[in-house]
Amino acid sequence: MKAVQVTGHGGLEKLNLVTLDIPEPKAGEVLVKVKACAINNTEIWMREGAYGEGSKSGWRPEGTVFPRIPGSDIAGRIVKVGPSVAPSMKGKDVVLYPLTSSGKAGSEHIAEDMSFIGSEYDGGYAEYVVWPAELCLPMPLSDYKESAVFSVSGLTAWHMANQIDIKPGETIVVTGANGGVGIYNVQIASKVYGANVIAIVGDLAVEERMKSLGAKHVLSYKSDNLADEILEVNGGPVDSVLDVVGDALFSVSLNVLKKGGKFCTSGSAGGQKSELDFRTLYLKHITLYGSVLGTRDEFEAMLEAIKEGKIKPVIDRTFPLEEAREAQRYFKKSGKFGKVVLLP
């Protein structure tokens, strides 16, 4: 099979197209023919070294063992089953819950031994991948590429919304709203929970598209008075912020939160370190949440919401597997609207 491997920490030259034997499913596993694999920040950071040896910010503290096939947002068809797997699973179109762990139901994603496909296991930048049968769930949509764009970004957004316990009518600020996680934060907060969403983007040319996904107001982070604009359109402080940006909008986020407000982050594309005046935190009774991925139950609930049409796939561009380097280069550019997908 064709596959793309990361050979170590570094630039795009560390992504190499190779030919490998098709893996064999072991007991409890299935072989999936990959039809689509969406790109996430996680495989970029894994290659660049943000999740390197000794880092506590990645999936496992020991770091990734190279070479590794990245890719965690996978949709495909089961073409072979391993021992102890029901033969009827062969031929099923599936999406993959992207992690394994020994954690109990409800804490799978925070167990110490949580292991991620594309990081601790070979992933979807390939024509085939093996994965536990019990973690392969029916595709929520009939199209492979549309079904492939939710597993990591959508699940992360779903878990973020659950953590801050959104109530109908609340106002939620979503940063990075036109990106992979943000675009689902907007939809989930507005269409699933009934919140009023203020979407923060770079280019206001996407305003109408953001509103079609559920945003009530769309503002640009390039404004010199963003905090004032948020307070103005909302008529006062907001209930919560769902953030994927990090440092660049951290101060603004805390400033616009009401007393008792909530700040939840799942990314740091705009800077990984920030300064915090603790007086802001305790005088405003702000709660901070760190969030990534989610539980198996949340994954299934998200798939159901996708089937019901409450959350829609948003795809910016597709690339063939052979152009993985160019796809990752494009992924890092600002101004995208939705997900970037590799098609083996």
**DSSP code per residue over 22-83:** PPPP-TTEEEEEEEEEE--HHHHHHHHTTT-TT-SSSSSTT-PPSSB----EEEEEEEEE-T
Mean pLDDT of the chain: 94
Query: What is the Rg, in whole angstroms, of the alpha carbon atoms belonging to the chain?
Result: 20
Nearest to 170 by CA among 220, 241, 265: 241
Residue reference for tokens 């965690």 = 72
Pairwise CA distance, residues 330 & 334, whole Å: 9
- Using a CB cutoff of 8 Å and minimum separation of 24, what contacts does 84-92 make? 84/27, 84/28, 85/25, 85/27, 85/28, 85/29, 85/30, 85/133, 86/133, 89/30, 89/133, 89/136, 90/30, 92/136, 92/138
Question: What number is the average pLDDT over the span 56-77?
Answer: 83
Residue type, 251: S
- Residue 103 neighbours by CB under 8 Å, 6+ apart: 109, 110, 111, 113, 114
- Confidence grade of residue 282 (pLDDT, cut at 50, 70, 90): very high
Question: What number is the average pLDDT over the span 281-309?
Answer: 96
Question: What number is the average pLDDT over the span 67-95?
Answer: 97
pLDDT digits (tens, 9 = 90+) for 248-264: 999 999 999 999 999 99
Q: Which domains does the chain have, with CATH numbers?
A: 2-151+294-343 (3.90.180.10), 154-290 (3.40.50.720)
DSSP state of 18: E
pLDDT at 56: 43
Res 207 pLDDT > 60:
yes
Res 58 pLDDT > 90:
no
User: What are the beta bridge partners of residue 265?
Assistant: 243, 290
Res 53 pLDDT > 70:
no
- Confidence grade of residue 247 (pLDDT, cut at 50, 70, 90): confident
pTM, to two decimals: 0.94
pLDDT at 293: 94
Question: What number is the average pLDDT over the span 297-324?
Answer: 97
- Residue 43 neighbours by CB under 8 Å, 6+ apart: 6, 70, 71, 72, 118, 119, 123, 125, 328
Question: What number is the average pLDDT over the span 68-81?
Answer: 97
3-class state of residue 234 by DSSP: helix
pLDDT digits (tens, 9 = 90+) for 100-150: 999 999 999 999 999 999 999 999 999 999 999 999 999 999 999 999 999
Q: Number of C-alpha atoms within 13 angstroms, CB side, residue 147?
A: 24
Question: What number is the average pLDDT over the span 26-54?
Answer: 88
- Confidence grade of residue 57 (pLDDT, cut at 50, 70, 90): very low
pLDDT at 113: 92
Nearest to 161 by CA among 172, 169, 151: 172
